Structure 1
Amino acid sequence: MISACILNEDTDKLSIVQVSPKESLPADVIWLDVNQPDEEERSWLETLFVEDVPEEDEMDDIESSSRFRVGPDGVHILSLFPQRLSNETRGVNMSFTMRKNLLISFREDDISIVRLLRYYIRHDKVEIRSALDILLKLQDLKVDQLSDLIEDAYFTLEQTSDQITDDSHVKETLEELILQEELNSQILQALHDTRRALRFIRKTFESYIDDRQSRVLEEVLNDIESILPHTSFISNKINFQLEASMGYTNQKQNSIIKIFSVAAVVFMPPTWIASVYGMNFKFMPEIEWYYGYPVSIGMMILSAAITYFFFRKKGWL
């Protein structure tokens, strides 16, 4: 699917329309958004590019030379966007090509930030005057979303901290902490990638950026710098809660093992007495004793009681 964002230069109004491969590129287009293109759409897009149209596997490169470069078609940027699916978050790469006042974006997933920007455009809730404004706004919205994810992580960790000593939620707590650790890693990766992208944009478009765009760019970079320490704090908090949860679980297991160990020691003397008088030797004087049975039972109870109270006095119980 291909959609175009058109800027009316007379009214400075934005509109979004669907583009068919059978049509020519509309005039005054500043953003061409390509989402999961089919073969016909790819063939049409190839007429707009000197280089090959980006493939899905090429959008996962991590080296800087592949993610940020200047080529025959213009400036190429690969940017990582967080995508929330149920309780999981994963990073989705989105490819941008900037040529003069046209931004062409490629994506193989439905990214929520793109939907949000399109909503703002349709309802005239965003100030956009050029293709570069769209690129900067997408990065700005991404950082806002990452900030919201961090706030959600703080709230979740407050809940898990109250469940660490709750035996009925041990498994759920551990699973949630593992999910939060993965989420925090995704946030950290996206923040670093966005910072690299913004610095590349500032350097590459230095002669084109106006004062307003420069302020936006610096504000987003400052937001990233202010958010990054929170990821370290969250990571430390997650690790602490994981260690505390595992420590509590080990302590409970040790208590159970301790009970069995004490029980084994307490019943060891009675077992020994029962074993002695269970022998079938001919010469055992107590076997023919009239009071032998109750005395042996009493000795078993007394030996177990002495062992138990000895453990209590030592503080081992």
Structure 2
Amino acid sequence: MIVVHCLSQAPAPSAPLSRKVLAPKEAIPEGTIWIDMIEPTAEEDEKVQLFVGVAIATRADPDYAEPPEAHYAENGVRYLQASVISEPKDTPDITDVTFVIAPTALVTVRYHACESFDIYAQKLCRAQAAARSPDAIATGLINTVINRSARALNQVGVRLDAIASRVFHAKEKMEGRSQIYSDTLWDLGLEDEKISNLRESMVSIERLLLFLMADANGEGGKADKAQRAAREATKTALRDLQSLEEDASFKAQKVQFLLDATLGLINLAQNDIIKLFSVLAVIFMPPTVIASIYGMNFKVMPELEWTWGYPFALLLMVCAAVLPYVFFRWKKWL
């Protein structure tokens, strides 16, 4: 099973990068600037550590333990951890990704497929040499993750618009209205789960970007051109992320509004049914009273001797039923 991906640079600075999947026994090429480790084994972990020269904590280590901090720097190496959305799925799940930014290369460790990594790898192979420092690669990768989050959030907005249109036009469809409301509640639950995952991912990435900003500001005037460019890219990514968080909050409020509206419409539909049965009970109450009166077995009842007593009782019951019905229709209660 091949789990190590690397982007190796040719000797010429302007030469394009190449993406290569290493065989289990294959050595890491010289000039590698990004090593993407997917479900690494202990042997692969050791190989990467020897190449980069820093410790890489993976689950394959016998003494693996979660670091006490999500983001920290040690001996000039920054260890960062973020929750990244995993695609493609109807409900984007989140997976933890470890970023190790060493002076010579970027190492990422993950245990699930992430479409953002493949997209950025293809983009990086076409990038200019100035965008090939470990800091620039890490920032570009995070930017790609943010862009994919924005795309997923936009899809949530499209689905919420469709749900809103469906639920507010359900009143026009008497048949199947209950099924529409049931499907709406189910769909709103799924969209809320998507927004929750996206917000969790964005909060995690925001903390990562804030750490990078604080670390970059601590360098003072020692940052070179590539580091300054990466710092500006980090600022831009942070602004984009904060705008996405506001959009996610708005969509979460929209989900809550649609949920309240759907439950309110369900309540109104139930009230209409109860009102209908109540009106029918009132309509049939006078005929029932008349039938009960003439169904009594008293010996002295003058109407029992009438020739037209039976038709008279039937006519009286019909009138007693029709008159309340006409009254309710006039009042627009039906």
Secondary structure at 1:67 match in 2? coil
Task: Please give the alpha-carbon distance, in whole angstroms, between the structure 1 residues aligned to 2:196 and 2:252.
Answer: 9
Q: Which amino acid aligns with 1:174?
A: L
Which residue matches 2:326? 309
Which residue matches 1:143? 146
Which residue matches 1:4? 6
Deviations 1:10-40 (A, max 9, x none): 2343122222343333222211111123455
**Sequence identity percentage:** 26
User: Which range moves more in the overlay, 78-87 or 136-145?
Assistant: 78-87
Task: Please give the alpha-carbon distance, in whole angstroms, between the structure 2 residues aligned to 1:92 and 1:60.
Answer: 17
Task: Please give the alpha-carbon distance, in whole angstroms, between the structure 2 residues aligned to 1:153 and 1:230.
Answer: 11
Secondary structure at 1:260 match in 2? helix
Secondary structure at 1:100 match in 2? coil
Q: Which amino acid aligns with 2:118?
A: R
Contact 1:163/1:170 (<8 A) preserved:
no
User: Which range moves more in the overlay, 34-43 or 304-313?
Assistant: 34-43
**How far apart are residue 211 of structure 1 and its match?**
2.0
Q: Does 1:160 align with 2:159?
A: no
Q: Does 1:187 align with 2:190?
A: no
Q: Does 1:22 align with 2:33?
A: no
Q: Which amino acid aligns with 2:23?
A: S
Task: Please give the alpha-carbon distance, in whole angstroms, between the structure 2 residues aligned to 1:35 and 1:93.
Answer: 12
Contact 1:270/1:300 (<8 A) preserved:
yes
TM-score of the superposition, structure 2-length normalised? 0.82
Which residue matches 1:260? 277
**How far apart are residue 316 of structure 1 and its match?**
2.8
Q: In structure 2, which of residues 288, 297, 313 is the aligned counterpart of residue 271 of structure 1?
A: 288
Alignment of 1:1-317 (within 5 A): 1-12=3-14, 13-38=16-41, 40-42=43-45, 44=47, 50=55, 52-54=57-59, 65-71=68-74, 74-124=77-127, 128-164=131-167, 165-166=169-170, 167=173, 168=176, 169-206=180-217, 207=219, 208=223, 210-317=227-334
Task: Please give the alpha-carbon distance, in whole angstroms, between the structure 2 residues aligned to 1:59 and 1:159.
Answer: 47
Residues 277 and 38 (structure 1), Cα distance of their counterparts in 2 relative to 1, 3 Å cut? farther
**How far apart are residue 269 of structure 1 and its match?**
1.0
**How far apart are residue 45 of structure 1 and its match?**
5.2
Q: Which amino acid aligns with 1:17?
A: K
Contact 2:58/2:64 (<8 A) preserved:
no
Q: Runs of 5+ in structure 2 lacking a partner?
A: none
Q: Which amino acid aligns with 2:58?
A: V
Task: Please give the alpha-carbon distance, in whole angstroms, between the structure 2 residues aligned to 1:117 and 1:67.
Answer: 23
**How far apart are residue 226 of structure 1 and its match?**
2.3
Q: Which amino acid aligns with 2:8?
A: I
Q: How many residues align?
A: 314
**How far apart are residue 259 of structure 1 and its match?**
1.0
User: Which range moves more in the overlay, 174-183 or 130-139?
Assistant: 174-183
Secondary structure at 1:186 match in 2? helix
Task: Please give the alpha-carbon distance, in whole angstroms, between the structure 2 residues aligned to 1:257 and 1:126.
Answer: 72
**How far apart are residue 75 of structure 1 and its match?**
2.0
Q: Runs of 5+ in structure 1 lacking a partner?
A: none
**How far apart are residue 108 of structure 1 and its match?**
0.9
**How far apart are residue 273 of structure 1 and its match?**
1.6
Task: Please give the alpha-carbon distance, in whole angstroms, between the structure 1 residues aligned to 2:301 and 2:127.
Answer: 104
Secondary structure at 1:10 match in 2? coil
**How far apart are residue 138 of structure 1 and its match?**
1.0
Contact 1:31/1:104 (<8 A) preserved:
yes
Task: Please give the alpha-carbon distance, in whole angstroms, between the structure 1 residues aligned to 2:20 and 2:56.
Answer: 26
Deviations 1:129-166 (A, max 9, x none): 21222111111111111222232233222222221132
Contact 1:70/1:76 (<8 A) preserved:
yes
**How far apart are residue 191 of structure 1 and its match?**
1.8
Task: Please give the alpha-carbon distance, in whole angstroms, between the structure 2 residues aligned to 1:187 and 1:272.
Answer: 64
**How far apart are residue 256 of structure 1 and its match?**
1.7
Residues 291 and 202 (structure 1), Cα distance of their counterparts in 2 relative to 1, 3 Å cut? same
Contact 1:8/1:28 (<8 A) preserved:
yes
Cα RMSD of the aligned pairs, angstroms, is 3.0
**How far apart are residue 6 of structure 1 and its match?**
1.4
Secondary structure at 1:97 match in 2? strand
Deviations 1:213-249 (A, max 9, x none): 1211111111122222212222222222222222222
Deviations 1:186-230 (A, max 9, x none): 222222211110111222344256221121111111112222221
